[in-house]
C-alpha cells in the first residue's frame, strides 16, 4: 500500500496522541517517518521504542531531511502559521492543528502562501466528522426547513479546574496562548457554527477575563450576533460551569433542530411560520409540528478521520475534511468577539480591522505573565496515551 511519509512537529499532548494513532495502525496510509521537538525528554520514547522513526530538534532540518512529504504541526498556537508557511514553501503537504493561528493577520499570510504552493493544506477540524453536525449542515443547506431565523449555542461543558491551567507555562496567557476558552476549547464550536449556519454579519460580545480562575484570558463569554438575512444568534461558553451544557439550537422558518446529548432532534412545522402567520385567522394559534429524532450514519471518526482524509487527498486527490484556508472563518469570529470586548462595541465582520486587533492583542502580550514551576508532560504520560 502506498503511504505518505509524515513528520510531526511538536510532541506534546496532542502531537503524541496523533503519533500514537499512527503507530497503532489506525491510519494505514500514513507512515510516521519523523518527529521534532525542542525537548529531549519528549523524544525519548521514540528513540527507545520506535527507532525506525527519526528524531529532530530543528524544524527546518526535519523538513529538509528528504524523509517526509507531509507535516503535521502541533506546536503552540502562535507558531502555527510560521511553521505552516515554512513547510508549504518547502513543498510539503501541511496539516495544522486548531486553531489556524491566534490572529487573522498572520493566518491571512498563511493563506496567501498556500495559494502559491502546489501542496495540500488542511486543518485539524475533527468535529466536522461528527455525524450529528454533518447531518445538521445537510438539513440547513438543503433548505428543507427554510431560512434560519435564530441560532443559539450554549457550550459550557468545557470545565477546567485551576490545575489544568497550571499544567503548562503557556496556558491561559496572552503571550503563550493568545486567548482563553475561545481560542483553546472553542475553535471547533466556532468552526461548526459558521460551517452550518454561515458567517455572522455583526458581533457584540461580553468577555470576562479570569472570572473563575487565576488566569489573564477569558473563561466566560456571552456573544450576540446578527446575520445578513436578519437572523440573530447567541454563543455562550465558559470553562467555569460544572455541570456544563452543550446544546446547539437552530430555529428556521419551517421548524427547528437541536443537537444535545449525542442526538439530533427535529421539530418540523406542518406549515412554515411565515406562511402560517400570513394565513392564520385564529388568535393565539401556532403552527402544528412533528418531533422526530433524526437518523444519521453514526460515523464520528474524529482525528483519525481527518488524518486519513489528508492522506487520501495527497494520494488520490479526494476531498479534505477542512481546507486550511477555512480556518480564517472561525478565527475571525473569535477575534471579533475579543475586539468587541476590548473596545466594548459592536464589530461589523466585513469591516473587521485586522491591524487594530493585532495592536490590541500586542498591548496585552506586553503585560502578560508566564507561569513557572508548572507540571510538564512526561515520557510516562506520553507512553500511557498510546495504551
For 283-315, the pLDDT digits (tens) are: 999 999 999 999 999 999 999 999 999 999 999
The domain that holds 269 is classified in CATH as: 3.30.360.10
Asked if residue 356 is part of any domain, the answer here is no
Please, which pLDDT band fits residue 376 given cuts at 50, 70 and 90? very low
Asked if residue 259 is part of any domain, the answer here is yes
pLDDT at 368 over 90: yes
Same domain, 135 and 264: yes
Same domain, 35 and 109: yes
Mean pLDDT on 373-378: 38
pLDDT at 296: 98
How many independent structural domains does the chain possess? 2
Same domain, 201 and 253: yes
Same domain, 62 and 157: no
Same domain, 161 and 206: yes
pLDDT at 378 over 80: no
pLDDT at 186 over 70: yes
Supply the range of the domain harboring residue 223.
130-293
Same domain, 97 and 178: no
Same domain, 141 and 272: yes
Same domain, 161 and 282: yes
Distance CA 204, CA 220 (A): 14
pLDDT at 49: 84
Asked if residue 365 is part of any domain, the answer here is no
Distance CA 137, CA 132 (A): 9
Same domain, 94 and 138: no
pLDDT at 357 over 60: yes
Asked if residue 228 is part of any domain, the answer here is yes
Q: Mean pLDDT score of the chain, rounded to an integer?
A: 94
The domain that holds 308 is classified in CATH as: 3.40.50.720
pLDDT at 383: 38
Same domain, 134 and 123: no
Same domain, 20 and 137: no
Asked if residue 109 is part of any domain, the answer here is yes
Same domain, 123 and 155: no
Amino acid at each position: 500500500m502506498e503511504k505518505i511519509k509524515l513528520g510531526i512537529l511538536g510532541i506534546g499532548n496532542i502531537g503524541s496522541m496523533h503519533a500514537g494513532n499512527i503507530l497503532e495502525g489506525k491510519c494505514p496510509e500514513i507512515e510516521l517517518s519523523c518527529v521534532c521537538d525542542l525537548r529531549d525528554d519528549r523524544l525519548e520514547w521514540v528513540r527507545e521504542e520506535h527507532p525506525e522513526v527519526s528524531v529532530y530538534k530543528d524544524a527546518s532540518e526535519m523538513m529538509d531531511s528528504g524523509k517526509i512529504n507531509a507535516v503535521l504541526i502541533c506546536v503552540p498556537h502562535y507558531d502555527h502559521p510560521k511553521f505552516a508557511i515554512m513547510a508549504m514553501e518547502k513543498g510539503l503537504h501541511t496539516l495544522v492543528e486548531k486553531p489556524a493561528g491566534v490572529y487573522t493577520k498572520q493566518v491571512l499570510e498563511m493563506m496567501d502562501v498556500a495559494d502559491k504552493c502546489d501542496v495540500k493544506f488542511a486543518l485539524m477540524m475533527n468535529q466536522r466528522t461528527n455525524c450529528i453536525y454533518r447531518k445538521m449542515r445537510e438539513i440547513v443547506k438543503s433548505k428543507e426547513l427554510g431560512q434560519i431565523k435564530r441560532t443559539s449555542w450554549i457550550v459550557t461543558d468545557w470545565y477546567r479546574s485551576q490545575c489544568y491551567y497550571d499544567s503548562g507555562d503557556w496556558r491561559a496567557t496572552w503571550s503563550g496562548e493568545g486567548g482563553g476558552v475561545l481560542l483553546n476549547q472553542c475553535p471547533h464550536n466556532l468552526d461548526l457554527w459558521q460551517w452550518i449556519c454561515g458567517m455572522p454579519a455583526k458581533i457584540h460580545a461580553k468577555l470576562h477575563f479570569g472570572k473563575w480562575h487565576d488566569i489573564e484570558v477569558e473563561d466566560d463569554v456571552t456573544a450576540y450576533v446578527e446575520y445578513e438575512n436578519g437572523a440573530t444568534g447567541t454563543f455562550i461558553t465558559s470553562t467555569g460551569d460544572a455541570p456544563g451544557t452543550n446544546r446547539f439550537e437552530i430555529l428556521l422558518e419551517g421548524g427547528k433542530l437541536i443537537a444535545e446529548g449525542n442526538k439530533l432532534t427535529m421539530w418540523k412545522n406542518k406549515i412554515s411560520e411565515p406562511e402560517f402567520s400570513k394565513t392564520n385567522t385564529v388568535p393565539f394559534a401556532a403552527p402544528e409540528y412533528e418531533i422526530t429524532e433524526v437518523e444519521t450514519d453514526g460515523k464520528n471518526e474524529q482525528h483519525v478521520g481527518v488524518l486519513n482524509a489528508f492522506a487520501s487527498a495527497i494520494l488520490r486527490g479526494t476531498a479534505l475534511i477542512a481546507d486550511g484556508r477555512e480556518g480564517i472563518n472561525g478565527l475571525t469570529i473569535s477575534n471579533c468577539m475579543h475586539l468587541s470586548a476590548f473596545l466594548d462595541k459592536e464589530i461589523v465582520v466585513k469591516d473587521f480591522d485586522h491591524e487594530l486587533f493585532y495592536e490590541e492583542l500586542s498591548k496585552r502580550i506586553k503585560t502578560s505573565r508566564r507561569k513557572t514551576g508548572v507540571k510538564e508532560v512526561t515520557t510516562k504520560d506520553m507512553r500511557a496515551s498510546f495504551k
